Chains A and B, each alone.
Chain A
């Protein structure tokens, strides 16, 4: 049969955003693919060159609309590396809670978007219901619902509200119960299993060579997780293990990538619940910004407001979708407080080309199942 190219996107439910997947097909079989990105390129890197280090946080929030907190934290750690700032331990714990809540919310958003892709509409409403709980908790921390602007260079915006620990524990325990409902809903649904098992195999070594990280590579059995391999924050003091799926010899399929994210949500909840048992300063006390518990005292006095020219800072960060990274170059005296250059590593920018190649050999109907299982987010991809 004759081969032909068709365009899936930019408006297509498979894309989970705005991009085009050009697919070369032979009958129903995918022969070749080519992704076309850049539809929502906003030039964040260029904009940030004219903003100071505090203003950039809001732009980083908007990199990914499903996982805002992880992106602003990824930036903050790099900025602290550039400006040589240390953070109080209590602030690190609060940051960890914000990031892990966001990770759960992001994975729920992913699962909610993935279920309709593979023919399970119930999953969508259930996941959004649970995500609502996580967003309520993050709203208590940051004040807004989607873009929190929560971390600061040297600390966090404000301390845990009174009673946050109690509400957070109750919601996470409810969430852990409901995870079992998902497992009952999806793992025993024939449609879900048929569409995900044995589809979209990806091998760990291949993925590592392509730069694919995060849950996608852990689904294939490679235990690479920035949180232990290039440690930051307080993860060593918490009770958790990286979620790794034991995949078959052919690599990980879509089902493995679903399992690893469910497992990762459980691990994140476990981490937060454990943090409340030994929270520095007590989880039920509320400190104001003047106490140096949540904010490095006299931050701009200690840290140089202007990074010297050529000075660099970078930080690898475990985002919900893989390893994200910010690389900052200081501007020197003349250029004011803003960085000379800011460069962002987006995990999905690297993963989407790889995921597109994973589809070769499968049918057109498998494309949404395979693409969705990699958790694409176009906000961060196009920056």
Chain B
């Protein structure tokens, strides 16, 4: 029995998503991409979506495609690009097969000890055959990208009510990158101190590290000769 999901299964699952996603029209551009490193070049789904359509897409993915895991939400600041100064990247996953899954050891007597009502008869073999997974049960990775043109108050709709896991990811993105999430309840600083000045978001590119230039670092490895660019200004 196969131990893990094969490349062909990922490809088929990704094609299934692409076939159905055309209902959204031009607001959603999807393609299949492949990982490029390591031993496996598995397929994943890359989607570019307009921020206005993001909540509809999220609901559709959750309900129709059983995408149940919001892995990461993050933001990127591109100050040189006025058409897409802000980018929000969302990584979603479909976790695939549900309970009861593998049973590690049928002879595990501890289970009997702990709950005498569970006997071996109830613990019949429920091993999942990975080779015959349905498309909807195949684990799959999603990368979703949204861009926002130049603005002082970047914002995209929140999906914290669809996946609760998005809640703290969105808080972190606002805290560090400064992208707000409409409809998010209880936005606050999570990693920076609570009394951080309003509008200070350190991962924006105007804030530079002392070693921001690669070559300078070797000229003055300890950094004694230089000060941060914003030295002297009130932070």
Q: Which residues of A contact B (CB under 8 A)?
A: 37-38, 41, 43, 45-47, 49-52, 77, 79-87, 89, 92, 183, 187, 197, 204-205, 208-213, 221-224, 227-236, 241-246, 248, 255, 259, 263, 312-316, 323, 325, 327, 329, 336-338, 340-341, 343, 345, 349-350, 353, 382-383
Contact = CB atoms under 8 A, between A and B. Distances in A.
Q: Interface of chain B, helix or strand or loop or mixed? A: loop
A77 B207 CA distance: 28
Given A46-B209, A236-B3, A327-B89, 5 more contacts: A51-B211, A230-B42, A236-B4, A263-B104, A323-B71
Contacts of A259: 110
Interface string B155-194: 0000000011111110010001000000000000111110
Contacts of A337: 214
A325 B71 CA distance: 8
B200 interface: no
B202 A222 contact: no
Most buried by A among B97, B164, B166, B202: B164
Contacts of A223: 97, 99, 101-102, 128
B99 A222 contact: yes
A204 B68 CA distance: 11
Contacts of A383: 191
19 contacts: A38-B192, A41-B192, A46-B207, A81-B35, A208-B95, A209-B163, A209-B165, A222-B98, A228-B130, A229-B95, A231-B40, A231-B42, A241-B102, A244-B104, A246-B118, A312-B143, A325-B72, A350-B165, A353-B167
A353 B130 contact: no
Most buried by A among B97, B141, B190, B202: B190
A43 B177 CA distance: 12
Contacts of A213: 69
Contacts of A350: 165, 168-169
A101 to B, nearest CB: 20
A159 B148 CA distance: 47
B74 A222 contact: no
A204 B123 CA distance: 18
Contacts, number: 186
Interface of B: 2-5, 35-40, 42, 68-72, 74, 76, 89, 91, 93, 95-104, 110-111, 113-115, 118, 123, 128, 130, 139, 141, 143, 163-169, 172, 176, 189-193, 202-203, 207, 209, 211-215, 217
Contacts of A313: 36-37
A185 B50 CA distance: 57
B177 to A, nearest CB: 9
A233 B35 CA distance: 13
A204 B113 CA distance: 23
Nearest to A81: B37
Nearest to B122: A246
A72 B166 CA distance: 25
A77 B38 contact: yes
A349 B168 contact: yes
A246 B3 contact: no
A242 B102 contact: yes
A103 to B, nearest CB: 16
Contact of B72 (A37, A50, A327): A327
A244 B30 CA distance: 35
Nearest to A248: B115
Most buried by A among B2, B114, B141, B212: B114
Task: List 10 tightest A-B contacts by C-beta distance, closest first.
Answer: A211-B165, A223-B101, A80-B37, A81-B37, A229-B139, A336-B214, A231-B4, A343-B74, A228-B4, A345-B72
